């Protein structure tokens, strides 16, 4: 009996059609779950990149206001021209208003995602306040 089982085991080389179809169905289910998740990860990283660019602009504006105490507002072009900001990143427009804390009003776009800032401070940007996300993740307050 043992020799008969060993002979049958040696002759099995490969998968049956049913086994192959089962593997393909399982891979299809995994792909259907993973693809939308990856899309959301990409959109969330784009939103976070725009927020980081806004944080950089606010930091550059802080330095600008230290050197130019009489100024109350500064835009991206002025910060870049004065050498306080090397690159505005994905921000397409922005104006920083001096205050306690300084606030930014403007927007940034990358891919299909646009984030608008309206009176956002450094703290509110990191806490996901005062900005609206439009595009790949829909419209509404960003919850990242």
The domain spans of the chain are 15-141
When comparing pLDDT for 123 and 29, which is higher?
Answer: 29
Overall pTM surpassing 0.75 (yes/no): no
Portion of the chain with pLDDT greater than 90, in percent? 45
Q: Please, which pLDDT band fits residue 78 given cuts at 50, 70 and 90?
A: very high
Evaluate if residue 140 carries a pLDDT over 50: no
Classify residue 89 as exposed, middle or buried by CB count within 10 Å of its CB (0-12, 13-18, 19+).
Answer: middle
Which range, 13-17, 103-107, 110-114, is most confident? Answer: 103-107
pLDDT at res. 39: 80
Residue carrying the six token digits 């049958």: 8
When comparing pLDDT for 40 and 58, which is higher?
Answer: 58
Q: Both tokens of residue 107?
A: 């927007």
Helices (H), 15-115: 17-67, 76-81
């Amino acid at each position: 009996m043992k020799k008969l089982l060993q002979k049958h085991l040696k002759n099995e080389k490969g998968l049956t059609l049913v086994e192959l179809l089962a593997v393909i169905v399982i891979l299809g289910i995994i792909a259907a779950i993973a693809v939308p998740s990856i899309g959301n990860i990409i959109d969330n990283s784009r939103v976070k990149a725009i927020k980081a660019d806004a944080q950089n602009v606010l930091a550059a504006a802080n330095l600008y206001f230290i050197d130019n105490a009489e100024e109350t507002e500064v835009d991206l072009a002025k910060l870049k021209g004065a050498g306080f900001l090397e690159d505005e990143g994905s921000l397409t427009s922005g104006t920083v208003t001096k205050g306690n804390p300084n606030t930014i009003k403007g927007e940034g776009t990358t891919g299909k995602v646009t984030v608008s800032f309206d009176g956002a401070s450094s703290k509110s940007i990191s806490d996901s306040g005062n900005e609206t996300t439009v595009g790949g993740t829909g419209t509404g307050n960003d919850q990242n």
